[in-house]
Amino acid sequence: MQTTRDYILIYSDGACSGNPGPGGWGSVLLFPDNQVLELGAGEASTTNNRMEMTAALEALRAVAHLKMPIHFYTDSTYLIRGITQWIFGWRRKNWQTAEGGEVSNRDLWEDISQVVAARGAQGKIEWLYSRGHVGTPGNERCDRIAVAFSKKEYVQLYRGDLEHYGIDLLNVPTNTALPEMKGAGEKKKEAFSYLSNLGGLVYRHRNWPSCQKRVSGQSGAKFKKAMSAAEEVEILKSWGLGPGTEIKEG
């Protein structure tokens, strides 16, 4: 049985091929009365960060008239840190970075800031980190919308009741803590593997595109990123599978 909430739930994501290059963005909004609204569009030449920011801006504009709390999930640490931390220093320095250069994407930062400020205390936004490509349904749907628009592919945007949506938007991340910022020159830690599960048949993939190819469009598909062999075992347990489960190489 669906329950009502006293807040709006939003997911957003952006995608770009080339960075800069053709890009797209997608947002999914769940209102307290369990109505779902999908938004999305593309741009011929843009960047990944601009698409992440545009997705957030358009979602917030769509609910500007509703003065209630928002739980906002995004996999962009740039967006979260920018709107909750960095923007205050940028303003004090007249939109200059610590190195004296111009702040990138100032136009979008100002637009998002204005929309956020106009919400007031009643419309407070809780910015929550949702790690990408780990199987969070709302995040994955936004990613599919964004990627489709970046490739100029047709995507049907949904508007209607959650009951008929087919995506569990209430399955939200349990850990929303921002990852630690990398030091100068420090490389991002690569995943140990990506696991996909279709009907109990588990495959191990060495990269996300391979995993995505197997699960994309497959009803009931499960997939998660593992950072170690031990984490693979924990993922299997979360799927109700034992440590002796056969894992095929994808």
Q: Which of 38, 143, 205, 232 is catalytic?
A: 143
Q: Which of 13, 38, 43, 140 is catalytic?
A: 13
Whether residue 161 lies in the annotated active site: no
151-190 in b/e form (b: 16+ CB < 10 A) is eeeebeebeeebeebebebeebbeeeeeeeeeeeeeeeee
Whether residue 6 lies in the annotated active site: no
- Which DSSP state fits 188? P
The string of DSSP codes covering 213-239 is HHHTT-TT-EEEEESSHHHHHHHHHHT
Name residue, tokens 């197997």.
214
Q: Which of 14, 42, 135, 138 is catalytic?
A: 14
Distance CA 179, CA 234 (A): 20
β-sheet with 201-205: strand ranges across:
222-226, 193-198, 201-205, 247-249
Q: Check: CB of residue 104 under 8 Å from CB of residue 78.
A: no
Distance CA 196, CA 211 (A): 6
Whether residue 205 lies in the annotated active site: no
Nearest to 144 by CA among 8, 12, 10, 9: 12
Q: Which of 52, 123, 205, 232 is catalytic?
A: 52
Whether residue 33 lies in the annotated active site: no
The string of DSSP codes covering 27-78 is EEEE-TTSEEEEEEEEEEEE-HHHHHHHHHHHHHHHTTT--S-EEEEES-HH
Q: Which of 71, 132, 133, 231 is catalytic?
A: 133
Q: Which of 75, 123, 138, 232 is catalytic?
A: 75
Whether residue 133 lies in the annotated active site: yes
CA geometry: angle 83, 158, 167, nearest 5 deg: 80
Residues marked active site are found at 13-14, 52, 75, 133, 143
